Amino acid sequence: MNVEKIIKVKKPLPVETKTILHLLLVNQRISEFTAEALKPFDVSTQQFNVLRILKGQNEKAANLSTLNERMVSKMSNTTRLVDKLILKKLVKRTVCESNRRKIEIFITKKGKEELKKMSEVILKTEKKLLQNISTSEMNELNELLNRLNTNNSEEQKL
């Protein structure tokens, strides 16, 4: 899938535009494959991410702000995401005793079991998505992407 073919322009696109489009297309592909892989578990990608973060906490509770920091999505969303996970009994929510404004969220036993299965499927999906490039190329790619994610001049406004 060539980017120029998609937008079908006469002039070649600036290399920056092309790069961004490529990134968006890859992302689209990732989203589709991931959603498909998680469908049997009846959780969304975001819900999977919440579970993964909670697992990463190793029994320690996470409050909403923590979850939110580590997630891409926005706060208002996180509340409702957790609501869904509670309905499925994958996580638990309690009010923090020392600061009643805070909410503590834990992954349940069922949550851990499900997450384990999901993780296996997701890893397979990731490998499939990346099957066209070698490990050393992945490292190369990672290095480049890492630099793109680094805000070395966040303040410098457009």
Which residues are at the interface with DNA (CB under 7 A)?
31, 35, 44-46, 63-65, 68, 73-82, 84, 93, 96, 99-103
Q: Which is nearer to a copy of itself, 4 or 113 (CB)?
A: 4
Task: Decide which of a copy of itself, DNA, none touches 146; Cβ closer than 5 to 8 Å per partner kind.
Answer: a copy of itself
Dihedral sign for Cα atoms in the order 35, 124, 143, 136: negative
Q: Which is nearer to DNA, 77 or 142 (CB)?
A: 77
H or E element at residue 144: helix 135-148
For residue 91, the tally of other CB atoms under 10 A from its CB is: 23
CA distances from 148 to 85, 143, 157 (A): 32, 9, 16
Binding site for a copy of itself (CB under 8 A): 1-2, 6-10, 14-20, 22-30, 37, 52-53, 56-58, 70, 72, 121-133, 135, 137-142, 144-153, 158
